[in-house]
Structure formats: C-alpha cells, structure tokens
Structure 1
Amino acid sequence: VICFLNIDRIVSFLGATEYTATYIKDYLTIILGFSCFPMLSYYMEVLVKVDGFPKLATIGVCTAAVCNIVLDYIFVIKLGFGVKGAAYATGLSQMFSATLFFIHFLGKKSKLGFVKFKVDFPTIKRAFLVGIPDFITELSAGITIFMFNRTILLLIGEIGVVTYTVISYVNTLILMTMIAVSQGMQPLVSYNYGKGDKASFTYYFKLAVKTIGILSLAAYAISTIFAEPISRFFIDKEEVELLSYSVKSSRIYAPAFLILGFNIVLSGFYSAVEKPKYAMIISLGRGLIIIAASLFIMVNIFGDTGIWISTTVSEIICLVVSVTIFMKYFFKDLFLNNKLSANTKMKIIEDIED
C-alpha cells in the first residue's frame, strides 16, 4: 500500500529518466499487486527442502522459470503488452510456484504442516537473529543496484546502465548458483552440528567449498572467454560502441566471480551453526558498507572503470574478513582431528545420492 501511494516518488528516487519513467511505473504498478507471491514462493521453497523434498523445490523453481519464459512470449511478443506483459508474466509464474509449494504442505507426505500459531518469543528471537544476515543480503542487493545505477548515470550515462544490466543478469545467474550451494549445505551442516557430529558437518562444509571453487573457476572462465557472445545476446550487433564497452566492462568485472561464492558459503556456514553475528558481518560488509566504500574509492581513483573494479575489491576485503573469523574461531576446534571413517563417508555419499 505504501509503495502504491508513493509510486511516482519511488520512480523518481530510483533515478528514472524521462524516457524510462513510464515503463518503470507500469511495471511497478503491476508487480506490486503480486508482491506477496515471490516472498511466499521463496520462503516455502526453503521449507520444502528442510522438509526433505529437494527435488520438489527444484521442480517448483524450474517450473516458475519456464512459466515466466512462456508467459513473457505470450504477453510481450504475441499480445504486445510490452513491459506490462513482462510484469504479469513474472507475477503469475511466482504465484504458480507458491501455490505448488502450498499444496505440498497440505498433503500427507509433508512432515511439516500448518498449525495454530502460538507466540513463542524466545523462538521468534532465535529465528530472527539467525535470519538477519539473509535479510541484509536480500535487502542490500537492491541498495547496491541503486548505488551503481546512480553512479553510472552520473559518470557514464545510459550506455553504462545498459552495460550494467548485462553484467547484472550474468551476476545474478552466478550468484544464485552460489546461493544454491550454500542453501543446500546449510540444513546438512545445521543438523549434524546440532547432534554434535563434527566429522559429518565439516565434511559437508568442505564439499560445499570445493563445489564453490569449481563453480567460481567455471564462472570466471565463461564470463571472460564468452563476454562478447553474452553481450551480443542482449545488445544489437549494430550497436558497435555499446557492444565494445559492454565486453570490456564485463571482463573487468569478472574476477569478482572467483571470490563471491566463498563469502556466500562462509556466511551460510555461520548461520547454519547459529553464529549470526559473524554472518551479519559478512552480509553487511559485502552488501552495504564495504561495497559502498569500495565504489566511492575506486571511482575517485580510476574514474568510470572503477565502477567495474569495485565489486572485486569489495569481495576480496570481505573474504579476508571471512577467513580471519573462520581461522580464529572455527578452524582449530572444528576442522582438526575430525576425519571421517571410510564407512561413515560411504554412508554420507549414499545419503546425498538418495
């Protein structure tokens, strides 16, 4: 309701130009009507995984993505609804996935279910503290985009905004992949940590770190080698200057992909073992404080090129902080002399395959 009543102010605050303001307002007006469904879908997706149905969570997310693509084609291309069509497609696809997850919890297979709500302040406080880092991560994504867009418009103009849009699409895809690894690790680490099985939860953590390492190298290589084809996917090849600038900027930005996954998995680990203070330090750092400082400093040193360097610098600083915390408070106690027996390791592998 607040957003609906202040939509013109929001559009102006976001830095919309005279050309883009109408499109932004049209999109926001529609998507706000569906705003509860992305939140419900995201929330219940996590609960479905905790409930022991990771395949259903994957099906729900993939189905929503396919629905979005199909509805985009119908509403935007076939019916010519433009930006409004894209908003309807996004809203309806999220509504579909939220409904799918909701039906699961009404079924007999679910171990979790809807019960009469009872206020338990200690439990709420505990959940609140553990959830704050993820809240900051989600909130900071929008703030970071806002900071970058304002800086880019000021220093480069619309050519920079288009370039940042291309980079943001790639960054979001890679970021979501890293978050998926972190979220997959968290219940396994949390469960084994809760029952005091250090060997098992350290195994899962190490597995997540190794996976992040492989994905990070792949993400960097693909985004660097295929920077031009990726940019061409979004930009008309006749826009030679824009395409060239986008390719150059994407390659400057790419080293961030080598690092961000490790920050995400470390933050997820701290939340899983109920150390939200450390997770919050990482989330605040990489999402708000350090990235803002890095953007300001890099721009003042390198000009517009500093915009694309700032994320890498921010992630490096955050990684130093993350690893320092880990080495000081966790490494010696949890990761030395906690080797798995061959039988235990085989059992874990069988559980993962199941």
Structure 2
Amino acid sequence: MNEKSEFLGTEKINKLLWQLATPAIIGLLVQAFYNLVDTFFVGRALGDQSVLGIAGVAVAFPLQMLMIALSIGIGVGGSSVISRMLGSKDVKKAERTLGNVFTFTLVLSIIFQILFFFNVDAILNLFGATADNLVYAKEYAVVILQGTLAFTFGFVLNNLVRAEGNPKIAMNNMIFSGVLNIFLDAILMFGFGMGVKGAALATVLAQLAGTIYLLYYYIGGKSPLRLELANFKPQFELIKEISVIGFGSFIMGASNSFMMLVLNNVLAVYGGDLSIAVFGVAIKLLMLILMPIIGISHGLQPIVGYNYGAENYERVNESVKKSLMITTLFGLAGFILLSAFPGTFFSMFSTDADLINSGASALRIMVLASPLIGLNVIGTTFFQSLGRARPSFFLSMCRQILFLIPLVILLPYYFDLSGVWMAFPISDLMAAIISLFLVWKEYRYFQDRSSSKA
C-alpha cells in the first residue's frame, strides 16, 4: 500500500510536478470551460433578455462558490493530513482521516442546504439581486441548492484522490462531469426550453454523476486506502485538525463568494444590471488564468506534504521554486490572451453592444497583475501542505478580504465604475508581495535544515 505513494519522495521534482499537476490542470480547465458554457448558453438562449439572465446567474453564483468553498476546505484539510501520514508511514491515521472526512462532509452539507434553501430570497437580495434579475437568480439558486450533496462530495473526493497520488482519477472525473454538463446544457436549455433553470439542473446532474464515479473508486477498492465503516465514527481531534488546516482554503473560497457579493452590490449602484453581467462574464474568463495555477498547486500539495513528513526539505524547496516559476508563466500567458482579445471573448456570450464594449474595457484592467496571482496561490498551498494553519489562513485572506473588498468599496468614490475594475490588479500586487516575503522566509529555513542534515 505504501509503495503506491513512495514515488512522491523519489521521482524527479520537475517530472513529478507535471505528472501530478497536468491532470488537475486539464480537469480544472474543463470545469472553467463548462462554467463559461453555462453563461454562453444563458446569453444565447435568452436573446433580448441575455443581460438580465447573465446578471441573474452572476448574482446566484456566490452561493455556488460558498458551497464549493466548504467542500474544498474539508478536502484540502483531509488531503494535507492524508499526504503527511502517507509520508510518515502512518496508514491507519490516513484511513481514519478518510472516514472522518466522509462523515464531516455529510453533516456540514445537510446543515448548509437547510440554512440556505429556506432563506433563498433574502440571501439573493443580500448577494445584490435587483428587481429585474431576481427571477433568474432564484431559478438558478434553488436548483443548485437541491444538489448540495453532489457538489460537496464531488469536490472533497477530488482533493482526497489527488492527495493519494492519483491525479488522473480526479482529472477523468472532472472531464467526464464537464463534458456531461455541456451536453445537458444544450438539451435542457434548447431542447426543453428550460432557460436558466436548465443550466442549473445540467450542472447538478453532471456533478452527481462525477460524485458517483469517485464513490465507486473508494467503494470498489481502487484507492490505496481502505474505506471502513469503523473509521466513519467522528474523532473530534482529527476533525479539528482537518478543520484548522482546511480553514484557509475555506476562507479563500468564501472570500470569493463574499467578494462577489460586495461587487454585485457595488456594481448595482455604479452600473446596474449591465455591469453585473459584465462581471459575471469576466469572472468566468479570469478562471481560465486561475485554474491552471490552482492545478499546479494541487500537484504541489502531495509533494510538499509527503516530503515534509519524510523530512526531505531539499525536495520541498525545489518543488516550491518550480511551482512559482510555472504559475508566473501561466499568469503571463493569460494576461496576454485576455488583454489582446477582450471584445472577442465577450461577443461569444451576447450580441449586446454595450455588454461587449463595457466588458472589453473592464477586462483589460482586471488582468494587469495576472502574472503575480501564482505567488498567493502557491504560498497558501505551501503552508497548508506543511500543516501550518495560521500563515495559510492569513495568505488566503490577503487578496480578497484584506485588499480587494476594501478597494472595491473605496476606489469607486474616486474613479467611479473604473475603480471597481482597478481594485483587481492592485490587490493582486499587494497579496503577491506579502506571499513572496513569507514563502522566502520559510524557503531559507528549509535550506538551512537541509544543509545541517548534510
């Protein structure tokens, strides 16, 4: 069983990082692409109402992001424990962690669904719904909430599979569910004329199919860890460890949701439904930059966790260094692509000239500091992999909570609507500086530890 994960401590870092990250990058890009396709179908299916439909989905999207944040927090916390236990040869604790993650996910998912489902109107108004787009936002949100368990278990299990050193399984699942979502979008929205509700239902059904696929992976004994009922019994110290480590990822995801909440409300004041729709498309396009960077961080996590557990500090440093180089190049490529052809991208979603022109101007500003995004993502993942909850939590808060949201509120007073878009590159720059400082400090520490062992 241990031999299935030992390659994390012996394979060349460059090869290993790409081996683990490539499936995650492909899977995440497919996920980003089908989110784009959702918005594309909404824009095309609603015709003259495309701006309101896209705005409605943008208003409901923070709810979906919050659901995903919950599951990623659990998944990252569990993954960190599992990979470190595999590195230190403590397979029993790794299997107890697996069982407790299942229990924890089930309980929190049910609580989440109950709390939000029965307060959906108030929540959507809080998320920035207007009188015109509320009907579309509610159609989307109600269906998404009905699929809470499919979402949470799907994202949690994807993280756990990667922690075991099996990223291809996670990739296959994300590709499968992504392609299925696109197929169902076309059928439900155009074949059955279900509109925004069809887009939401397609997403839920695709996530459910992916979750079933991953459950089969564990139940069918394909995992190096055994899924035993005895390990489902809650062990509060273990759940606490999972929660503390994963809290940073949850906050990062939740801050995305909160950021969108604030932005929707600010945009409703400074630009109305048109600006909300612009942001709804822009945030999906920005995912094309962010997802490959997150994919590299997913590849990094088991490498750092395993080698830190094995006290192989030189490999820890090498993996972080290469990850930062690669994510910077991804960010640069995304900047070039989106800043060169912003109008072309927006014209895919609607024929509305105002949406296309406003979107092109906004996107050029928003991507200015994209090459720096990887510093914050890799920094957060690095400290999570070490089991260092405080710095990972702090870095996860930097971009969205400490910088972006205050800037989104402040800058429009001086620069009107442009100030909203300017907040993105400024917050990226500030978060990158802090992340680089903390990572470099830890990097030097591991260099010294590695030298002393030699």
1:230 maps to 345
Partner of 1:8: 121
Change (3 A) 1:16 1:52: same
Match of 2:380 in 1: 267
The 8 Å contact of residues 136 and 287 in structure 1, kept in 2 or not, is answered as no
Match of 1:212 in 2: 327
TM-superposed CA distance for 1:83, in Å, is 1.2
Partner residue, 2:271: 156
Other structure's SS at 1:89 match: helix
Aligned partner of 1:185 among 293, 297, 300: 300
For residue 257 of structure 1, the aligned residue among 348, 370, 375 is: 370
Distance 1:11 1:121, change over 3 A: closer
Q: Is the CA contact (8 Å cut-off) linking 2:375 and 2:432 kept in structure 1?
A: yes
Q: CA deviation at 1:24?
A: 1.5
Return the offset for 1:19: 2.2
Give the alignment of 1:8-27 within 5 angstroms.
8-27=121-140
Counterpart pick for 2:445 among 333, 336, 339: 333
AA in 2 matched with 1:333: Y
The one of 109, 122, 132 equivalent to 2:237 is 122
Q: Does structure 1 residue 293 correspond to structure 2 residue 406?
A: yes
Alpha-carbon contact 2:181-2:203 (below 8 Å) kept: yes
Residue 121 of structure 1 and its aligned partner are, at CA, apart by 3.0
Q: Residue 310 of structure 2 aligns with which residue?
A: 195
- How many Å apart are 1:241 and its aligned residue? 3.2
The 3 A distance-change label for structure 1 pair 71 and 227 is: same
CA deviation vs aligned residue, 1:313-346 (integer Å, no higher than 9, x gap): 1121111221222233x1322246959xxxxxxx
What displacement does 1:123 show?
A: 2.4
Q: Counterpart amino acid of 1:318?
A: A
CA RMSD of aligned residues (A): 1.7
Deviation at 1:218, TM superposition (A): 0.4
Mapping 1:129-140, distance limit 5 Å: 129-140=244-255
Larger mean CA deviation between 7-16 and 129-138 belongs to 7-16
CA contact (8 A) 1:75 1:89 kept: yes
In the superposition, the TM-score normalised over structure 1's length comes to 0.90
Percent identical among aligned pairs is: 25
User: Which aligned pairs between 1:13-92 and structure 2 lie closer than 5 A?
Assistant: 13-92=126-205
Kept in 1, the 8 Å contact 2:127–2:262? The answer is no
Consecutive unaligned residues of structure 2, counting only runs of 5 or more, are: 1-113
Structure with greater contact order relative to length (CA < 8 Å, sep ≥ 6): 2
- Quote the Cα distance in structure 1 between the aligned partners of 2:132 and 2:240: 46
Using the alignment, how far apart are the partners of 1:335 and 1:217 within structure 2?
Answer: 29
In structure 2, the CA distance between the partners of 1:30 and 1:78, relative to structure 1 (3 Å rule), is same
User: What is the identity, as a one-letter code, of the residue corresponding to 1:214?
Assistant: L
| TM-score, scaled to structure 2 | 0.71
Residue identity opposite 1:217 in structure 2: L
Kindly state the Cα deviation for residue 256 of structure 1 after the two structures are TM-superposed: 3.3
Counterpart residue type for residue 170 of structure 2: A
Counterpart contact for 1:31–1:91, Cα < 8 Å: yes
Aligned counterpart for 1:169 among listed residues 258, 275, 284 = 284
Name the CA distance, whole Å, in 2 between partners of 1:225 and 1:211: 21
Task: Name the CA shift for 1:241/1:8 in 2 (closer, same or farther; >3 Å).
Answer: closer
- How far apart, in 2, do the equivalents of 1:52 and 1:322 lie? 26
CA distance in 2, matches of 1:336, 1:291: 35
